[in-house]
Amino acid sequence: MSTFRSTNPARPAEVVAELPLHGAGDVDTAVDRAAEAQRAWAARPVPERADAIAAVGTVLRARKAELAELVSREAGKVRIEAGGEVQEAIDMAAFVAGQGRSAMGEVVPSELGSKLAWTTRIPVGVVGMITPWNFPVAIPSWKVFPALLAGNGVVMKPSELAPACGVAFIEACIEAGIPAELLQVVHGGAEPAAALATHPGVGAVSFTGSVPTGRKVAAAAMEVGPKLVSLELGGKNAMVVLEDADLDLVLDGALFGAFGSSGQRCTSTSRLVIQRGIAGEVVERLAARADALRLGDPLEAATDVGPVIDHRSGERIVGMVDHAVQEGAKVVTGGRLRTDVDGCTGGTFVEPTILRGVERHHRIAREEVFGPVLSVIEVDDLAEAVEVVNGVEYGLSAAVYTRDINAALRAVAAIDTGITYVNAPTIGAEIPLPFGGTKHTGNGFREAGTRGIEQFSQVKTVYVDYSGRLQRAQIDNREA
């Protein structure tokens, strides 16, 4: 079987893992195995499945440092953020385990006597998951735990850029006692992804990634017959800063939101939509802070900004910056590709970049960058800010910074995103609440939170008539 290698983005000569390159036939085998194991799993009571998921949380906690190191090595995430990512998976295990002992449906009074009516959740069978490299442990946990709780088997295809993280996560699940056959992993790129999405034995497909790929996956999946398809796609997240905001807080938030994870989160702050009167001061102070950020090996504690995932991605990012300059934006700081970072031979970095003079029609103001680039867009007031925030095709996350409670709540009401923050950056969603976006960001499903299970299960409505006679809904005891 042919293989491929994942490498450390900080030092691409360093191989992290070598994995088999799977094809459609391997996907068939994986789906069959998961389907076989699923029957016994689904027969276990939900709280028992929940206990198994809680046990995974314990294993993840014991292995937190080791997994975080792997995330740093394979996905280039700085150590402290890699730890946060593993913690997100630990939190998800705790949350989903609790969900297994909570209400999972509704009980409704029947309109007829001696009759019960309730809903419950049933598994779809096997769930196909296509997961990204940027949260290679946390996002699998958002999908795998609720899918398991619902009683499903899993076939996961982690990104070929960070497959070892996906494998390590699945291994932790198995070490904790989840049946190995229930959790299948396939590797590679478009071929196994397409085979998984279109497999008739896969009852739900859960995809996190780019808009173009998401559209293809969804269209292909629906071709073979209706199934649940959940998409978690891009973002073009904005931080609105009003004149009365606490500017120190703004600087901290913008810096973390825009340059954390080298801007490679779907929630990264990509636009700073700021009232004109304070733009000069904020940009100047922010640029000084951005300049001081240290590029380096993500494993070193002193590093603030790690590499981008690969050279091609770096070129794409600076290409977008160059294009913005051609359209009239000005680079305040950064803007360059760096391949000379100490201890990171061959690694590609993008300097934390701030662009001023960005107009809302510029490409950089509309398209996802997925890199450490913050576009400053100046506006007159909150109404114009909201127009700018909403004037893109994405709707994942937004933030508003102000001390005026009325302005904050007006912004919250008017901003069209799935997640809105007040006086906090656009990143940092917490597990017990739904994660996802409006418009082209997704197709309405949410991950995490109590709704996280919806993309992996179907609702079953149950009626039990214990009257011993035929009772007719809408007819008996009603006016003719």
Using CB under 6 A, list all residues that contact ligand UN1.
88, 134-135, 265-267, 427-429
Identify which of residues 229 and 419 has a Cβ nearer to ligand UN1 in the complex: 419
Active-site residue flag, 344: no
**Tally of CA atoms within 13 A in the half-sphere of 208 that contains its CB:** 30
Identify which of residues 55 and 429 has a Cβ nearer to ligand UN1 in the complex: 429
Contacts of 87 (CB under 8 A, 6+ apart): 64
Least CB distance to ligand UN1 at residue 443 (A): 16
Please enumerate, as own/partner, the contacts of 289-295 that have beta carbons within 8 Å and a separation of 24 or more: 289/251, 289/255, 290/255, 290/259, 290/333, 290/334, 290/352, 290/353, 290/354, 291/333, 291/352, 293/255, 293/259, 293/352, 295/338, 295/341, 295/349, 295/351
Q: Answer positive or negative: Cα dihedral of 307, 308, 310, 314.
A: negative
Identify which of residues 20 and 432 has a Cβ nearer to ligand UN1 in the complex: 432
Least CB distance to ligand UN1 at residue 369 (A): 13
Least CB distance to ligand UN1 at residue 57 (A): 17
Least CB distance to ligand UN1 at residue 61 (A): 18
Least CB distance to ligand UN1 at residue 135 (A): 5
Identify which of residues 81 and 297 has a Cβ nearer to ligand UN1 in the complex: 81
Neighbours of 94 (CB within 10 A): 17
* Residue of 266, 344, 368, 447 marked catalytic: 266
Least CB distance to ligand UN1 at residue 129 (A): 14
Quick one: 248 exposed, middle or buried, by C-beta within 10 A (0-12, 13-18, 19+)? exposed
Which phi and psi angles does 79 have, rounded to 5°? -55, -45
**Tally of CA atoms within 13 A in the half-sphere of 368 that contains its CB:** 24
Contact 443, 218 (CB under 8 A): yes
Question: Coil, helix or strand for 464?
Answer: strand
Which phi and psi angles does 458 have, rounded to 5°? -115, 155
Identify which of residues 38 and 267 has a Cβ nearer to ligand UN1 in the complex: 267
Give the span between the Cα atoms of 425 and 267, in whole angstroms.
9
What are residue 397's DSSP bridge partners? 419
Least CB distance to ligand UN1 at residue 75 (A): 12
Integer CA distances (angstroms), 89 to 52, 162, 430, in order: 14, 16, 11
- Residues written for the chain: 480
Identify which of residues 227 and 265 has a Cβ nearer to ligand UN1 in the complex: 265
Identify which of residues 88 and 160 has a Cβ nearer to ligand UN1 in the complex: 88
Active-site residue flag, 232: yes
- Could you please report the per-residue DSSP string of 342-361? TT-TT--EE--EEEES--TT
Contact 298, 318 (CB under 8 A): no
Which phi and psi angles does 294 have, rounded to 5°? -100, 120
Q: Nearest 5°: CA angle at 263, between 261 and 265?
A: 75
Neighbours of 467 (CB within 10 A): 10
* Residue of 232, 351, 368, 454 marked catalytic: 232
The amino acid occupying position 131 is: T
Identify which of residues 134 and 333 has a Cβ nearer to ligand UN1 in the complex: 134
Least CB distance to ligand UN1 at residue 141 (A): 11
Residues marked as catalytic: 232, 266
